[in-house]
Amino acid sequence: MRETQRPHRPIPVWTFALFTVLPGAIAVAQHDVAAMPENATATSYGRGWQCDTGHREMDGACRATVIPDNAYAAAFSYQGWECAHGHRAAGDACVAIAVPADAYLDSLGDRWHCDRGYRPADAGCVAIEVPRNGYLNDAGDGWKCGRGYRAAGESCVAISIPSNGYATNLTYGTGWDCERGYRAASDACSPVAVPENGYLVDASYGVGWRCARGYRAAGESCVEIVLPEDAHLDYSGNGWDCNRPFRKENDRCELL
């Protein structure tokens, strides 16, 4: 049996392009390595080089960075250096940060903060004057009034608490609340009128009472729930549902 001769396939154009471009690419890479200046290191990715720490690229060369006093070489800094802890950049120099009395340098060492009980004023720190019946806040940079007092300018004035009321720790609102069984009405605490077959609730909204199970609210009273035939009290106990398979129709239960 004669072997079938495979048809001749032309060599793709990109193959010629590859052999044409590849030698040039190799030559460029070799040229890059050969052109690497002193005080430089080849990059770990791609082609090329980068200046060593303490040097900056200028006109294709790596020249030593002039590091001012109280600074250190930093490869990723624009100027090639950064100021040491407790100093800040001022042009081409690093100047010491002047920390005023009753202040401290922050953890980064490039700014200062006032001590607890002091606040910034101009270029220094001044003591916070806490008024009588006041105390320093948690941050220590201001003050709050104690329980039963409210801020009035730079002072803490006593809050007028009505009968059956008590002072709160809230810094907003009236500064007082009513005891259980009483509701705020203007500047007084009025008793909650709980109707027969009702009970007191602690909710700060609504009428302050609810009807017992088997009763429903009707104005200011609790009236007994009258169950129609084939019905039962619902989950709240203040209404009714039909027994299965009955369905509610107006005030009665009918079969589906």
pLDDT in tens, 138-195: 999 999 999 889 899 999 999 999 999 998 877 677 888 999 999 988 889 999 999 9
Residue 182 amino acid letter? Y
80 three-class SS:
coil
CA distance 138 to 35: 62
- Evaluate whether 125 touches 134 at the Cβ level (below 8 Å): no
- Residue 26's H or E segment, with its range, is helix 13-34
| Phi/psi of residue 138, nearest 5 degrees | -60, -35
pLDDT tens sequence across 44-94: 776 788 888 778 777 888 888 888 999 998 877 777 889 999 999 999 899
CA distance 80 to 202: 67
Q: Which string of b and e fits 206-225 if b means at least 16 CB within 10 Å? A: eebbbbeeebbbeeeebeeb
**Alpha-carbon separation of residue 156 from 128, 131, 146, 221 (angstroms):** 15, 7, 8, 44
Q: What is the pTM of this model?
A: 0.51
